[in-house]
Homo-oligomer: A and B are copies of this chain.
Amino acid sequence: MRSVGIAAKVTAPEALEHAMRVAGELRSRGLEVCFDDETAAALDDPGACWSKSSLGTHTDLLITFGGDGTLLSVARHAPSHVPILGVNMGTLGFLTEIRLEELPGVLDRVLAGDFQSEDRVALEVTVQGPDDSDRIYRVLNDVAINKSALARIIEMHVLVGGKFVSTFRADGLIVATPTGSTAYNLSAGGPIIYPTMSAVVVTPICPHMLSNRPLVLPDDLTIEIRIISSNQEVYLTLDGQEGLPLSEYDRVSVRKSPQTVQLIQSPDKNYFDVLRTKLKWGEA
């Protein structure tokens, strides 16, 4: 490893401070460090090389300081071969398992190439306009289709593997990866999915039909969503972070991304440990 990309939660002074400190240590070991634009600006560091979406493409390792949102903002753009190390600022995240105290030991092992990581499925989202132009996005957690706040229910036709599933009348629809199953999907009534499964879950948001329950599908089937409500504002949201308006005749296709996302694991806790803590299962 020669080059390390670092992103921090820019609204958290502590995250910025630790990002800076760790960058110094890495540079003193002879590694090249670059921050994403935003973090660099917040730190007033000249090490800004790339935007968040390019940081992974030009580095050998990504480290994030902050919560799951900070990790998602770089991870969903990162190629498979770049391991990602999420350091939390005191509150365990689903994706940011590493505590600050663990970081020195974990980092030594990562730099030595001696670490465990998990390849997580990401989704490729294609929005095809009426002119057959394609816009392509990638998410690690989920893609959501939502009505605008002032709209009434939206109607969507959903096809899976080319077969018609149903017309959904709902506030919206979430397609989540196993990684994203504990995020928006869980709030909308979806199940928890073991993170390394080859699965996606399609979960309607406040469906009009009470039997429209979450649907777990193999990740090698393409999910196609056609908005059939006219005169409604409908939006697409990527990992809860980026959004774009959809037009009436847009078609949204969701399939497994050819690139997985490689998350470095904490050496001292497993998936169920994280679930128990985050969902407070251990408490009376």
Contacts and interface: CB of A to CB of B under 8 A. Distances in A.
A233 interface: yes
Given A150-B243, A275-B165, A281 B196 contact: no
Interface residues of A, number: 64
A112 interface: no
Given A186-B210, A211-B211, A280-B211, A149 B235 contact: yes
A1 interface: no
Contacts of A282: 166-167
B211 A281 contact: yes
A233 B284 contact: no
A240 interface: yes
Given A146-B149, A170-B187, 15 more contacts: A91-B284, A147-B149, A148-B148, A150-B235, A150-B237, A152-B240, A171-B171, A193-B215, A193-B216, A194-B217, A197-B218, A199-B199, A210-B210, A211-B280, A280-B280
Interface of A: 91, 146-150, 152, 160, 163-167, 170-172, 181, 184, 186-194, 196-199, 201, 205-218, 221, 233-235, 237, 240-241, 243, 270, 272, 275-276, 279-284
